[in-house]
Amino acid sequence: MVPKGPLRYTLPVKDGLAKQRKAKLLYLPYWRFKGLSYKVLDQRQFKSSLLDTTVSAFTGIDTVSSLGIRPQVATLNLAVNGNHLIPAQRNAKEALRYCRKEIAAIREKYGPF
């Protein structure tokens, strides 16, 4: 399988929830970043940190940067076009920049974690 872009996933809907509601479910886009982050301090030093976070890919909900759950413990479903997916308004590079600003603000307020 060779995708034309990042694979998209949806969180599962609780049994019976979709049938109880008459409105359609809409899936708001989030970027998930997981891995190591490196920052070069000078020619001989660098700083590494673990990165495991979600960031809104929809610019209308910047203040809600969390999914409210830990995606690593959820079973995700591969999304198919037309599954009520709202397209991303923020690309991965912009989302990572936003995430780094948020992390820097938290570290400034509460100290390193």
Q: Are strands 9-10 and 77-78 parallel, antiparallel or unpaired?
A: antiparallel
Q: Which two tokens stand for residue 32?
A: 């998930």
Q: What pLDDT digit, counting tens, does each position of 31-77 carry? A: 888 888 787 888 888 888 777 778 888 877 655 556 666 666 777 78
Q: State the Cα–Cα distance between residues 62 and 19, nearest whole angstrom.
A: 30
- Return the domain boundaries, the chain: 9-110
pLDDT of 106 > 80? The answer is no
| CB crowding 28-58: b at 16 or more within 10 Å, else e | ebbbbeeeeeeeeeeeeeeeeeeeebbbbbe
pLDDT of 93 > 80? The answer is yes
pTM attached to this predicted model: 0.62
pLDDT of 102 > 80? The answer is no
pLDDT score for 87 = 80
Q: Which two tokens stand for residue 12?
A: 């599962």
Residue given tokens 């109880």 in the structure block: 20
**DSSP assignment, residue 25?**
P
